[in-house]
Structure 1
Protein backbone atom coordinates (compact mmCIF):
# COMPACT_ATOMS: atom_id res chain seq x y z
CA UNK A 1 0.00 0.00 0.00
CA UNK A 2 2.87 2.36 0.83
CA UNK A 3 4.44 1.73 -2.59
CA UNK A 4 1.13 2.44 -4.37
CA UNK A 5 0.76 5.71 -2.47
CA UNK A 6 4.33 6.63 -3.43
CA UNK A 7 3.63 5.85 -7.08
CA UNK A 8 0.48 7.98 -7.01
CA UNK A 9 2.42 10.88 -5.47
CA UNK A 10 5.17 10.47 -8.08
CA UNK A 11 2.53 10.46 -10.82
CA UNK A 12 1.02 13.62 -9.37
CA UNK A 13 4.34 15.42 -9.00
CA UNK A 14 5.65 14.27 -12.38
CA UNK A 15 2.48 15.44 -14.15
CA UNK A 16 2.59 18.81 -12.39
CA UNK A 17 6.10 19.29 -13.76
CA UNK A 18 5.33 17.76 -17.16
CA UNK A 19 2.20 19.79 -17.70
CA UNK A 20 3.88 23.06 -16.72
CA UNK A 21 7.28 22.39 -18.34
CA UNK A 22 6.35 20.12 -21.25
CA UNK A 23 8.59 17.27 -20.10
CA UNK A 24 9.67 14.88 -17.35
CA UNK A 25 6.60 12.73 -16.58
CA UNK A 26 8.05 9.65 -18.25
CA UNK A 27 11.65 10.33 -17.27
CA UNK A 28 10.76 10.94 -13.62
CA UNK A 29 8.36 8.01 -13.29
CA UNK A 30 10.60 5.54 -15.13
CA UNK A 31 13.59 6.58 -13.05
CA UNK A 32 11.65 5.71 -9.87
CA UNK A 33 10.51 2.35 -11.25
CA UNK A 34 14.08 1.46 -12.21
CA UNK A 35 15.29 2.49 -8.76
CA UNK A 36 12.97 -0.05 -7.11
CA UNK A 37 14.18 -2.84 -9.41
CA UNK A 38 11.56 -2.95 -12.18
CA UNK A 39 12.49 -4.59 -15.50
CA UNK A 40 13.40 -1.72 -17.92
CA UNK A 41 10.95 -2.74 -20.64
CA UNK A 42 8.20 -3.29 -18.06
CA UNK A 43 8.99 0.07 -16.44
CA UNK A 44 8.67 1.91 -19.75
CA UNK A 45 5.51 -0.05 -20.63
CA UNK A 46 3.96 0.77 -17.24
CA UNK A 47 4.67 4.48 -17.64
CA UNK A 48 3.37 4.60 -21.22
CA UNK A 49 0.14 2.84 -20.30
CA UNK A 50 -0.41 5.39 -17.53
CA UNK A 51 0.44 8.17 -19.97
CA UNK A 52 -2.46 7.23 -22.24
CA UNK A 53 -4.77 8.55 -19.54
CA UNK A 54 -2.61 11.39 -18.25
CA UNK A 55 -1.84 12.79 -21.70
CA UNK A 56 -5.50 12.62 -22.68
CA UNK A 57 -6.45 14.59 -19.58
CA UNK A 58 -3.49 16.93 -19.98
CA UNK A 59 -4.28 17.59 -23.64
CA UNK A 60 -7.91 18.35 -22.83
CA UNK A 61 -6.88 20.73 -20.04
CA UNK A 62 -4.31 22.52 -22.20
CA UNK A 63 -6.92 22.86 -24.95
CA UNK A 64 -9.38 24.43 -22.50
CA UNK A 65 -6.72 26.98 -21.48
CA UNK A 66 -5.84 27.76 -25.12
CA UNK A 67 -2.36 26.22 -24.96
CA UNK A 68 -2.58 23.92 -28.04
CA UNK A 69 -1.55 24.44 -31.68
CA UNK A 70 -3.26 21.55 -33.46
CA UNK A 71 -1.10 21.85 -36.60
CA UNK A 72 2.00 21.19 -34.48
CA UNK A 73 0.25 18.32 -32.69
CA UNK A 74 -0.43 16.45 -35.94
CA UNK A 75 2.90 17.25 -37.64
CA UNK A 76 4.97 15.94 -34.71
CA UNK A 77 2.56 13.46 -33.09
CA UNK A 78 2.06 11.05 -36.00
CA UNK A 79 5.80 10.64 -36.78
CA UNK A 80 6.34 10.41 -33.02
CA UNK A 81 3.99 7.43 -32.84
CA UNK A 82 6.03 5.63 -35.52
CA UNK A 83 9.27 6.27 -33.61
CA UNK A 84 7.71 5.17 -30.31
CA UNK A 85 6.50 1.85 -31.71
CA UNK A 86 9.97 1.15 -33.15
CA UNK A 87 11.64 2.10 -29.85
CA UNK A 88 9.30 -0.11 -27.80
CA UNK A 89 9.95 -3.20 -29.92
CA UNK A 90 13.71 -2.48 -29.83
CA UNK A 91 13.80 -2.21 -26.02
CA UNK A 92 11.69 -5.34 -25.63
CA UNK A 93 14.41 -7.36 -27.37
CA UNK A 94 17.20 -6.36 -24.94
CA UNK A 95 18.04 -8.40 -21.84
CA UNK A 96 17.60 -6.69 -18.46
CA UNK A 97 21.32 -6.58 -17.59
CA UNK A 98 22.00 -4.59 -20.75
CA UNK A 99 18.82 -2.52 -20.79
CA UNK A 100 18.96 -1.10 -17.23
CA UNK A 101 22.30 0.77 -17.51
CA UNK A 102 21.53 1.67 -21.12
CA UNK A 103 18.24 3.27 -20.13
CA UNK A 104 19.93 5.12 -17.26
CA UNK A 105 22.50 6.54 -19.70
CA UNK A 106 19.72 7.78 -22.01
CA UNK A 107 17.86 9.32 -19.06
CA UNK A 108 21.08 10.89 -17.75
CA UNK A 109 21.85 12.50 -21.12
CA UNK A 110 18.31 13.87 -21.29
CA UNK A 111 18.59 15.15 -17.73
CA UNK A 112 21.90 16.88 -18.48
CA UNK A 113 20.41 18.48 -21.58
CA UNK A 114 17.37 19.79 -19.70
CA UNK A 115 19.53 20.96 -16.78
CA UNK A 116 22.13 22.81 -18.87
CA UNK A 117 19.69 24.15 -21.47
CA UNK A 118 17.29 25.77 -19.03
CA UNK A 119 19.86 26.86 -16.44
CA UNK A 120 22.27 28.61 -18.80
CA UNK A 121 20.11 29.78 -21.69
CA UNK A 122 16.57 30.15 -20.47
CA UNK A 123 13.96 30.48 -23.21
CA UNK A 124 14.62 32.09 -26.63
CA UNK A 125 11.98 34.50 -27.95
CA UNK A 126 13.19 35.29 -31.48
CA UNK A 127 11.21 34.30 -34.61
CA UNK A 128 7.99 34.12 -32.57
CA UNK A 129 4.96 33.54 -34.78
CA UNK A 130 6.83 32.05 -37.75
CA UNK A 131 5.45 28.66 -38.89
CA UNK A 132 7.08 25.39 -37.84
CA UNK A 133 7.79 23.33 -40.95
CA UNK A 134 6.87 19.68 -41.37
CA UNK A 135 10.45 18.90 -42.48
CA UNK A 136 11.56 20.03 -39.00
CA UNK A 137 8.76 18.52 -36.93
CA UNK A 138 8.54 15.09 -38.61
CA UNK A 139 12.17 13.98 -38.03
CA UNK A 140 12.04 15.51 -34.56
CA UNK A 141 8.93 13.47 -33.81
CA UNK A 142 10.49 10.18 -34.98
CA UNK A 143 13.64 10.72 -32.90
CA UNK A 144 11.75 11.92 -29.84
CA UNK A 145 9.29 9.01 -30.04
CA UNK A 146 12.10 6.44 -30.33
CA UNK A 147 14.02 7.96 -27.40
CA UNK A 148 10.82 8.17 -25.37
CA UNK A 149 10.06 4.47 -25.72
CA UNK A 150 13.63 3.21 -25.22
CA UNK A 151 14.38 5.57 -22.34
CA UNK A 152 11.01 5.40 -20.61
CA UNK A 153 10.73 9.13 -21.24
CA UNK A 154 12.13 11.66 -23.65
CA UNK A 155 9.25 12.96 -25.74
CA UNK A 156 9.23 16.21 -23.77
CA UNK A 157 12.99 16.53 -23.10
CA UNK A 158 13.71 16.10 -26.82
CA UNK A 159 10.68 17.83 -28.37
CA UNK A 160 10.03 20.76 -26.04
CA UNK A 161 13.56 22.29 -25.98
CA UNK A 162 13.92 21.81 -29.75
CA UNK A 163 10.73 23.76 -30.48
CA UNK A 164 11.49 26.37 -27.82
CA UNK A 165 14.99 26.80 -29.27
CA UNK A 166 13.46 27.63 -32.65
CA UNK A 167 11.76 30.63 -31.06
CA UNK A 168 8.77 30.20 -33.37
CA UNK A 169 6.11 29.10 -30.89
CA UNK A 170 5.38 30.72 -27.55
CA UNK A 171 6.28 28.57 -24.51
CA UNK A 172 2.77 27.83 -23.30
CA UNK A 173 1.68 26.58 -26.75
CA UNK A 174 4.88 24.58 -27.14
CA UNK A 175 4.23 22.83 -23.82
CA UNK A 176 0.52 22.34 -24.51
CA UNK A 177 1.12 20.96 -28.02
CA UNK A 178 3.89 18.57 -26.90
CA UNK A 179 1.75 17.29 -24.01
CA UNK A 180 -1.25 16.77 -26.29
CA UNK A 181 0.69 15.01 -29.08
CA UNK A 182 2.20 12.66 -26.49
CA UNK A 183 -1.16 10.88 -26.35
CA UNK A 184 -0.43 9.39 -29.80
CA UNK A 185 3.10 8.44 -28.72
CA UNK A 186 1.86 6.73 -25.54
CA UNK A 187 -0.64 4.61 -27.49
CA UNK A 188 1.94 3.54 -30.09
CA UNK A 189 4.58 2.72 -27.47
CA UNK A 190 2.09 0.70 -25.41
CA UNK A 191 1.12 -1.36 -28.47
CA UNK A 192 4.81 -1.93 -29.20
CA UNK A 193 5.45 -3.20 -25.66
CA UNK A 194 2.45 -5.52 -25.76
CA UNK A 195 3.79 -6.96 -29.01
CA UNK A 196 7.31 -7.24 -27.57
CA UNK A 197 6.85 -8.45 -23.99
CA UNK A 198 3.14 -9.16 -23.58
CA UNK A 199 1.27 -8.09 -20.46
CA UNK A 200 2.56 -10.53 -17.83
CA UNK A 201 5.45 -8.28 -16.70
CA UNK A 202 3.25 -5.18 -16.39
CA UNK A 203 1.70 -4.41 -12.99
CA UNK A 204 -1.66 -2.85 -13.79
CA UNK A 205 -2.07 -1.69 -10.18
CA UNK A 206 1.07 0.42 -10.58
CA UNK A 207 -0.31 1.76 -13.86
CA UNK A 208 -3.51 2.83 -12.11
CA UNK A 209 -1.58 4.47 -9.25
CA UNK A 210 0.55 6.53 -11.64
CA UNK A 211 -2.53 7.32 -13.71
CA UNK A 212 -4.54 8.51 -10.72
CA UNK A 213 -1.85 10.95 -9.60
CA UNK A 214 -1.33 12.21 -13.14
CA UNK A 215 -5.02 12.76 -13.86
CA UNK A 216 -5.46 14.76 -10.65
CA UNK A 217 -2.49 16.97 -11.49
CA UNK A 218 -3.18 17.51 -15.22
CA UNK A 219 -5.68 20.42 -15.02
CA UNK A 220 -3.65 22.12 -12.29
CA UNK A 221 -0.49 21.87 -14.42
CA UNK A 222 -2.25 23.33 -17.47
CA UNK A 223 -3.15 26.34 -15.34
CA UNK A 224 0.31 26.59 -13.74
CA UNK A 225 2.03 26.75 -17.14
CA UNK A 226 1.06 30.42 -17.23
CA UNK A 227 2.53 31.19 -13.82
CA UNK A 228 5.62 29.08 -12.97
CA UNK A 229 8.93 30.08 -14.62
CA UNK A 230 10.04 27.20 -16.88
CA UNK A 231 13.70 28.13 -16.37
CA UNK A 232 13.56 27.32 -12.65
CA UNK A 233 11.54 24.15 -13.20
CA UNK A 234 14.00 22.99 -15.85
CA UNK A 235 16.93 23.35 -13.45
CA UNK A 236 15.06 21.56 -10.67
CA UNK A 237 13.82 18.63 -12.74
CA UNK A 238 17.11 18.22 -14.58
CA UNK A 239 18.90 17.92 -11.25
CA UNK A 240 16.54 15.21 -10.02
CA UNK A 241 17.00 13.18 -13.19
CA UNK A 242 20.80 13.54 -13.13
CA UNK A 243 21.15 12.56 -9.47
CA UNK A 244 18.88 9.52 -9.68
CA UNK A 245 20.41 8.07 -12.84
CA UNK A 246 24.01 8.71 -11.73
CA UNK A 247 23.08 6.71 -8.62
CA UNK A 248 21.74 3.86 -10.77
CA UNK A 249 24.88 3.79 -12.94
CA UNK A 250 27.32 3.93 -10.02
CA UNK A 251 25.54 0.99 -8.37
CA UNK A 252 25.28 -1.04 -11.61
CA UNK A 253 27.50 -3.97 -12.58
CA UNK A 254 29.07 -1.75 -15.24
CA UNK A 255 30.73 0.47 -12.62
CA UNK A 256 30.00 -0.87 -9.11
CA UNK A 257 31.65 2.14 -7.46
CA UNK A 258 32.63 1.93 -3.75
CA UNK A 259 30.63 3.93 -1.21
CA UNK A 260 33.27 6.65 -0.82
CA UNK A 261 33.25 7.38 -4.55
CA UNK A 262 29.47 7.34 -4.81
CA UNK A 263 28.93 9.73 -1.90
CA UNK A 264 31.60 12.09 -3.20
CA UNK A 265 29.90 12.21 -6.59
CA UNK A 266 26.51 12.81 -4.95
CA UNK A 267 27.95 15.70 -2.93
CA UNK A 268 29.32 17.36 -6.07
CA UNK A 269 25.96 16.98 -7.83
CA UNK A 270 24.10 18.52 -4.86
CA UNK A 271 26.44 21.54 -4.81
CA UNK A 272 26.16 22.13 -8.57
CA UNK A 273 22.39 21.61 -8.44
CA UNK A 274 21.94 24.16 -5.63
CA UNK A 275 24.10 26.69 -7.48
CA UNK A 276 22.13 26.16 -10.69
CA UNK A 277 18.80 26.68 -8.92
CA UNK A 278 20.07 29.87 -7.29
CA UNK A 279 21.33 31.13 -10.65
CA UNK A 280 18.05 30.28 -12.44
CA UNK A 281 15.97 32.04 -9.78
CA UNK A 282 18.27 35.07 -9.92
CA UNK A 283 18.08 35.26 -13.71
CA UNK A 284 14.31 34.90 -13.65
CA UNK A 285 13.96 37.76 -11.17
CA UNK A 286 16.40 39.90 -13.14
CA UNK A 287 14.54 39.47 -16.43
CA UNK A 288 11.19 39.95 -14.72
CA UNK A 289 12.34 43.30 -13.33
CA UNK A 290 13.71 44.30 -16.74
CA UNK A 291 10.37 43.47 -18.37
CA UNK A 292 8.52 45.52 -15.75
CA UNK A 293 10.80 48.49 -16.40
CA UNK A 294 10.20 48.24 -20.14
CA UNK A 295 6.43 48.11 -19.61
CA UNK A 296 6.54 51.03 -17.19
CA UNK A 297 8.65 53.08 -19.62
CA UNK A 298 6.26 52.35 -22.47
CA UNK A 299 3.28 53.39 -20.31
CA UNK A 300 4.95 56.70 -19.43
CA UNK A 301 5.68 57.43 -23.09
CA UNK A 302 2.08 56.65 -24.08
CA UNK A 303 0.64 58.90 -21.38
CA UNK A 304 3.00 61.72 -22.41
Structure 2
Protein backbone atom coordinates (compact mmCIF):
# COMPACT_ATOMS: atom_id res chain seq x y z
CA UNK A 1 0.00 0.00 0.00
CA UNK A 2 1.23 3.56 0.51
CA UNK A 3 4.49 4.25 2.31
CA UNK A 4 2.39 5.16 5.34
CA UNK A 5 1.75 1.50 6.12
CA UNK A 6 4.17 -0.45 3.95
CA UNK A 7 3.87 -4.12 4.93
CA UNK A 8 1.75 -3.24 7.92
CA UNK A 9 0.22 -6.71 7.87
CA UNK A 10 3.54 -8.47 8.58
CA UNK A 11 3.30 -7.42 12.22
CA UNK A 12 0.16 -9.52 12.62
CA UNK A 13 1.05 -12.49 10.43
CA UNK A 14 1.26 -15.90 12.11
CA UNK A 15 3.10 -18.26 9.79
CA UNK A 16 3.83 -20.84 12.47
CA UNK A 17 1.44 -21.46 15.31
CA UNK A 18 3.99 -23.06 17.59
CA UNK A 19 3.74 -21.36 20.98
CA UNK A 20 1.15 -18.85 19.76
CA UNK A 21 -0.85 -17.10 22.47
CA UNK A 22 -3.81 -14.89 21.67
CA UNK A 23 -2.90 -12.42 24.39
CA UNK A 24 0.18 -11.52 22.34
CA UNK A 25 -2.09 -9.35 20.19
CA UNK A 26 -3.85 -6.32 21.70
CA UNK A 27 -7.33 -5.93 20.12
CA UNK A 28 -7.07 -2.18 20.58
CA UNK A 29 -3.66 -1.80 18.97
CA UNK A 30 -3.04 0.65 16.15
CA UNK A 31 0.73 0.22 16.28
CA UNK A 32 2.71 0.54 13.04
CA UNK A 33 -0.17 2.28 11.23
CA UNK A 34 1.88 5.45 10.70
CA UNK A 35 -1.30 7.44 10.29
CA UNK A 36 -2.55 9.84 12.91
CA UNK A 37 -6.30 9.83 12.32
CA UNK A 38 -9.20 8.20 10.51
CA UNK A 39 -9.07 10.69 7.65
CA UNK A 40 -5.46 9.76 6.85
CA UNK A 41 -6.42 6.09 7.16
CA UNK A 42 -9.23 6.56 4.65
CA UNK A 43 -6.81 8.10 2.15
CA UNK A 44 -4.38 5.22 2.66
CA UNK A 45 -7.16 2.65 2.28
CA UNK A 46 -8.42 4.29 -0.92
CA UNK A 47 -4.91 4.05 -2.33
CA UNK A 48 -4.75 0.40 -1.32
CA UNK A 49 -8.11 -0.38 -2.87
CA UNK A 50 -6.95 1.16 -6.15
CA UNK A 51 -3.79 -0.94 -6.15
CA UNK A 52 -5.77 -4.05 -5.30
CA UNK A 53 -8.14 -3.47 -8.20
CA UNK A 54 -5.20 -3.27 -10.63
CA UNK A 55 -3.73 -6.50 -9.25
CA UNK A 56 -7.07 -8.27 -9.35
CA UNK A 57 -7.46 -7.32 -13.00
CA UNK A 58 -4.16 -9.07 -13.77
CA UNK A 59 -5.17 -12.07 -11.64
CA UNK A 60 -8.36 -12.43 -13.67
CA UNK A 61 -6.63 -11.96 -17.02
CA UNK A 62 -3.79 -14.38 -16.23
CA UNK A 63 -6.29 -17.05 -15.11
CA UNK A 64 -3.72 -19.19 -13.28
CA UNK A 65 -4.00 -18.42 -9.58
CA UNK A 66 -6.99 -18.14 -7.27
CA UNK A 67 -7.00 -16.37 -3.90
CA UNK A 68 -9.13 -17.56 -0.99
CA UNK A 69 -9.62 -15.12 1.90
CA UNK A 70 -11.04 -16.67 5.07
CA UNK A 71 -12.59 -14.41 7.73
CA UNK A 72 -13.32 -15.57 11.27
CA UNK A 73 -14.35 -13.47 14.25
CA UNK A 74 -16.65 -13.10 17.19
CA UNK A 75 -19.96 -11.32 16.57
CA UNK A 76 -19.68 -7.56 15.94
CA UNK A 77 -15.95 -7.74 15.17
CA UNK A 78 -16.55 -6.13 11.78
CA UNK A 79 -16.22 -8.92 9.22
CA UNK A 80 -18.96 -7.62 6.93
CA UNK A 81 -17.71 -4.03 7.03
CA UNK A 82 -14.12 -5.07 6.44
CA UNK A 83 -15.08 -7.16 3.42
CA UNK A 84 -17.24 -4.32 2.09
CA UNK A 85 -14.62 -1.58 2.41
CA UNK A 86 -11.48 -3.53 1.52
CA UNK A 87 -12.99 -5.18 -1.54
CA UNK A 88 -14.94 -2.11 -2.67
CA UNK A 89 -12.82 -1.55 -5.77
CA UNK A 90 -12.61 -5.15 -6.95
CA UNK A 91 -14.48 -6.08 -10.12
CA UNK A 92 -17.50 -8.16 -8.97
CA UNK A 93 -16.94 -10.43 -11.96
CA UNK A 94 -13.67 -11.55 -10.41
CA UNK A 95 -14.80 -11.90 -6.80
CA UNK A 96 -17.23 -14.20 -5.02
CA UNK A 97 -18.37 -14.11 -1.38
CA UNK A 98 -19.71 -17.15 0.49
CA UNK A 99 -21.26 -16.86 3.95
CA UNK A 100 -21.44 -19.99 6.06
CA UNK A 101 -24.41 -20.16 8.39
CA UNK A 102 -25.55 -23.23 10.33
CA UNK A 103 -25.18 -26.33 8.12
CA UNK A 104 -28.29 -27.64 6.36
CA UNK A 105 -29.54 -31.22 6.50
CA UNK A 106 -27.81 -31.83 3.17
CA UNK A 107 -24.56 -30.38 4.52
CA UNK A 108 -24.75 -32.65 7.57
CA UNK A 109 -25.04 -35.70 5.32
CA UNK A 110 -21.56 -34.95 3.97
CA UNK A 111 -18.11 -34.46 5.46
CA UNK A 112 -17.60 -31.07 7.07
CA UNK A 113 -15.38 -29.74 4.27
CA UNK A 114 -17.91 -30.62 1.57
CA UNK A 115 -19.90 -27.41 1.49
CA UNK A 116 -16.77 -25.25 1.56
CA UNK A 117 -15.37 -27.19 -1.35
CA UNK A 118 -18.41 -26.23 -3.45
CA UNK A 119 -17.57 -22.55 -2.94
CA UNK A 120 -13.87 -22.45 -3.78
CA UNK A 121 -12.91 -19.63 -6.18
CA UNK A 122 -12.19 -20.42 -9.79
CA UNK A 123 -8.79 -19.64 -11.25
CA UNK A 124 -8.40 -15.91 -11.77
CA UNK A 125 -10.82 -15.04 -8.98
CA UNK A 126 -10.81 -13.97 -5.36
CA UNK A 127 -13.04 -16.03 -3.10
CA UNK A 128 -14.12 -14.73 0.30
CA UNK A 129 -15.37 -17.01 3.06
CA UNK A 130 -17.38 -15.08 5.66
CA UNK A 131 -16.92 -17.73 8.34
CA UNK A 132 -15.77 -21.06 6.99
CA UNK A 133 -14.89 -24.68 7.66
CA UNK A 134 -13.10 -23.38 10.76
CA UNK A 135 -16.48 -23.17 12.46
CA UNK A 136 -16.07 -26.94 12.85
CA UNK A 137 -13.23 -26.29 15.32
CA UNK A 138 -14.92 -23.31 16.99
CA UNK A 139 -18.68 -23.27 17.53
CA UNK A 140 -18.86 -27.06 17.33
CA UNK A 141 -16.10 -27.33 19.92
CA UNK A 142 -17.74 -24.81 22.24
CA UNK A 143 -21.12 -26.51 21.77
CA UNK A 144 -20.47 -30.28 21.72
CA UNK A 145 -24.17 -30.98 21.16
CA UNK A 146 -23.70 -29.76 17.59
CA UNK A 147 -21.18 -32.52 16.99
CA UNK A 148 -23.78 -35.12 17.91
CA UNK A 149 -26.05 -33.84 15.11
CA UNK A 150 -23.41 -34.61 12.49
CA UNK A 151 -24.18 -38.35 12.72
CA UNK A 152 -20.51 -39.28 12.60
CA UNK A 153 -19.96 -42.91 13.66
CA UNK A 154 -19.53 -43.01 17.43
CA UNK A 155 -16.14 -44.72 17.30
CA UNK A 156 -14.76 -41.75 15.32
CA UNK A 157 -15.77 -39.16 17.91
CA UNK A 158 -13.18 -39.26 20.67
CA UNK A 159 -10.89 -36.89 22.55
CA UNK A 160 -8.60 -36.67 19.50
CA UNK A 161 -11.25 -35.32 17.14
CA UNK A 162 -10.04 -31.70 17.28
CA UNK A 163 -6.45 -32.67 16.60
CA UNK A 164 -7.69 -34.76 13.69
CA UNK A 165 -9.65 -31.81 12.31
CA UNK A 166 -6.68 -29.48 12.62
CA UNK A 167 -4.58 -32.01 10.71
CA UNK A 168 -7.29 -32.42 8.07
CA UNK A 169 -7.48 -28.67 7.55
CA UNK A 170 -3.71 -28.27 7.29
CA UNK A 171 -3.61 -31.00 4.65
CA UNK A 172 -6.61 -29.51 2.85
CA UNK A 173 -5.04 -26.06 2.65
CA UNK A 174 -1.74 -27.60 1.55
CA UNK A 175 -3.63 -29.39 -1.22
CA UNK A 176 -5.29 -26.14 -2.30
CA UNK A 177 -1.94 -24.39 -2.41
CA UNK A 178 -0.44 -27.08 -4.62
CA UNK A 179 -3.32 -26.52 -7.04
CA UNK A 180 -2.88 -22.76 -7.30
CA UNK A 181 -5.40 -21.66 -4.66
CA UNK A 182 -3.56 -19.29 -2.31
CA UNK A 183 -5.12 -19.25 1.18
CA UNK A 184 -4.95 -16.29 3.55
CA UNK A 185 -6.87 -16.34 6.84
CA UNK A 186 -7.95 -13.46 9.05
CA UNK A 187 -9.08 -13.55 12.66
CA UNK A 188 -10.52 -10.14 13.52
CA UNK A 189 -9.62 -9.91 17.18
CA UNK A 190 -12.13 -7.70 18.99
CA UNK A 191 -12.11 -7.16 22.76
CA UNK A 192 -15.03 -8.15 24.96
CA UNK A 193 -15.46 -4.50 26.00
CA UNK A 194 -15.65 -3.27 22.39
CA UNK A 195 -18.10 -6.02 21.48
CA UNK A 196 -20.33 -4.85 24.34
CA UNK A 197 -20.16 -1.27 23.09
CA UNK A 198 -21.12 -2.33 19.56
CA UNK A 199 -23.97 -4.51 20.82
CA UNK A 200 -25.37 -1.59 22.83
CA UNK A 201 -25.07 0.65 19.77
CA UNK A 202 -27.11 -1.84 17.76
CA UNK A 203 -29.76 -1.97 20.48
CA UNK A 204 -29.92 1.80 21.01
CA UNK A 205 -30.04 2.72 17.31
CA UNK A 206 -33.30 1.62 15.62
CA UNK A 207 -31.58 1.59 12.23
CA UNK A 208 -29.15 -1.01 13.55
CA UNK A 209 -31.62 -3.19 15.45
CA UNK A 210 -31.73 -5.64 12.56
CA UNK A 211 -28.07 -6.47 13.13
CA UNK A 212 -28.71 -7.79 16.62
CA UNK A 213 -29.81 -11.28 17.56
CA UNK A 214 -30.54 -12.72 20.99
CA UNK A 215 -28.17 -15.51 20.02
CA UNK A 216 -25.35 -12.95 20.12
CA UNK A 217 -25.78 -12.60 23.89
CA UNK A 218 -25.92 -16.35 24.38
CA UNK A 219 -22.65 -16.78 22.50
CA UNK A 220 -21.05 -13.90 24.44
CA UNK A 221 -21.58 -15.95 27.61
CA UNK A 222 -19.07 -18.45 26.19
CA UNK A 223 -16.40 -15.81 25.53
CA UNK A 224 -13.55 -17.55 27.37
CA UNK A 225 -14.28 -20.87 25.68
CA UNK A 226 -14.24 -19.20 22.28
CA UNK A 227 -10.95 -17.43 23.00
CA UNK A 228 -9.39 -20.77 23.93
CA UNK A 229 -10.83 -22.37 20.78
CA UNK A 230 -9.48 -19.56 18.58
CA UNK A 231 -6.05 -19.80 20.17
CA UNK A 232 -5.93 -23.56 19.59
CA UNK A 233 -7.19 -23.12 16.03
CA UNK A 234 -4.46 -20.62 15.13
CA UNK A 235 -1.78 -22.56 16.98
CA UNK A 236 -2.52 -25.75 15.05
CA UNK A 237 -3.40 -24.44 11.57
CA UNK A 238 -1.08 -21.48 10.95
CA UNK A 239 1.47 -22.40 8.30
CA UNK A 240 3.81 -20.38 6.12
CA UNK A 241 1.79 -21.31 3.02
CA UNK A 242 -1.58 -20.57 4.65
CA UNK A 243 -0.90 -18.07 7.46
CA UNK A 244 -3.29 -16.49 9.89
CA UNK A 245 -3.44 -12.75 10.38
CA UNK A 246 -4.58 -11.92 13.91
CA UNK A 247 -5.89 -8.43 13.25
CA UNK A 248 -6.71 -5.96 16.05
CA UNK A 249 -10.38 -5.13 15.51
CA UNK A 250 -11.35 -2.55 18.13
CA UNK A 251 -10.63 0.23 15.59
CA UNK A 252 -12.30 -0.54 12.29
CA UNK A 253 -10.14 1.83 10.25
CA UNK A 254 -7.03 0.00 11.44
CA UNK A 255 -8.52 -3.45 10.80
CA UNK A 256 -9.25 -2.51 7.20
CA UNK A 257 -5.73 -1.19 6.61
CA UNK A 258 -4.16 -4.41 7.87
CA UNK A 259 -6.43 -6.65 5.81
CA UNK A 260 -5.97 -4.59 2.64
CA UNK A 261 -2.20 -4.63 3.06
CA UNK A 262 -2.19 -8.42 3.51
CA UNK A 263 -4.25 -8.94 0.34
CA UNK A 264 -2.03 -6.61 -1.69
CA UNK A 265 1.11 -8.24 -0.32
CA UNK A 266 -0.20 -11.65 -1.34
CA UNK A 267 -1.22 -10.60 -4.85
CA UNK A 268 2.11 -8.86 -5.43
CA UNK A 269 3.95 -12.04 -4.42
CA UNK A 270 2.33 -13.94 -7.32
CA UNK A 271 4.15 -11.92 -10.00
CA UNK A 272 0.91 -11.35 -11.88
CA UNK A 273 1.00 -10.11 -15.46
CA UNK A 274 -1.31 -9.76 -18.41
CA UNK A 275 -1.02 -12.65 -20.90
CA UNK A 276 1.39 -12.00 -23.75
CA UNK A 277 0.17 -12.11 -27.34
CA UNK A 278 2.13 -14.35 -29.73
CA UNK A 279 3.21 -13.48 -33.27
CA UNK A 280 0.30 -15.30 -34.92
CA UNK A 281 -2.22 -13.53 -32.71
CA UNK A 282 -0.55 -10.18 -33.39
CA UNK A 283 -0.93 -10.72 -37.13
CA UNK A 284 -4.64 -11.44 -36.57
CA UNK A 285 -4.98 -8.27 -34.53
CA UNK A 286 -3.25 -6.25 -37.23
CA UNK A 287 -5.58 -7.68 -39.86
CA UNK A 288 -8.63 -6.90 -37.73
CA UNK A 289 -7.32 -3.35 -37.26
CA UNK A 290 -6.86 -2.95 -41.02
CA UNK A 291 -10.38 -4.21 -41.77
CA UNK A 292 -11.94 -1.84 -39.27
CA UNK A 293 -10.11 1.15 -40.74
CA UNK A 294 -11.28 0.22 -44.26
CA UNK A 295 -14.98 0.00 -43.35
TM-score by length of 1: 0.27
Higher helix share: 1
Q: Give 1 or 2: higher strand fraction.
A: 2
- TM-score scaled to structure 2, two decimals? 0.28
Look at both structures and tell me which one has the larger radius of gyration over its CA atoms: 2
